[in-house]
Amino acid sequence: MAGAKRVTLWGILLSLAGLYFLLVNLKLIAKLPEGVLFPVIVIAVGLAIFIPGRLVRHIGSGARAETDTNGEGFVNSTAVFGGDERRLSGNVFKGANITCAFGGVELDLSGFSSCLPRAEIDLTCTFGGVELTLPPNTRAEHGGMTCLFGGMDIRGPQPQNAESVIVLNGFIAFGGLDVKHPVVVREAKAE
């Protein structure tokens, strides 16, 4: 299910709010009294915060793999007012979809044995930070990344003869993306 769309509680709440305002503007329903709307919003946000994270993030068919045990190699990560820290492993890294708002995501992809020749990471980060450790023998490439009062940093030297490239696409506002290459342990020569 690589790239499958996920239904989240935040998406449902925003869709319902938009539907309410649309129906009020079209005069199909009556506007709620002034003293009711704000408490309803506060209660909805409170429920979204206190419902356990797995229920909030993963309603529907979009599976989130803790490790790549299903062999798909595609990573989905969402962190809203919280964090997601994972070390992933598998055969072939195929790409990722990362969403971060007022939180942080730390993904270590160095456990993958290889990567597609060209894999893409789609990223949306607002008021948060994302730290990526790339799979071995890959290099990062700036794709369609837009930064507004934020930035991205690719640390360390890029591998000269990298077999794969990971293209970084997306939007960063008031946040940051830090990309690192895995630490390579070299064996000492016997004399």
pLDDT in tens, 99-146: 888 888 888 888 887 788 888 888 888 888 899 888 888 888 888 888
Q: Could you say which residues of the chain have pLDDT below 50?
A: 1-4, 52-70
Q: Give the count of beta carbons closer than 10 Å to the beta carbon of residue 145.
A: 18
Q: Whole-angstrom Cα distance, residue 120 to residue 182?
A: 18
pTM equals: 0.58
Predicted confidence at residue 6, as pLDDT, reads 55
Q: Where in the chain are the domains?
A: 9-53, 67-180
Burial class (CB in 10 A: 0-12, 13-18, 19+), 90: buried
Best CA proximity match to 64, nearest among 93, 35, 32, 96? 96
* Mode of pairing for the β-strands spanning 104-126 and 164-173: parallel
Helix (H, G, I), strand (E, B) or coil at 80: strand
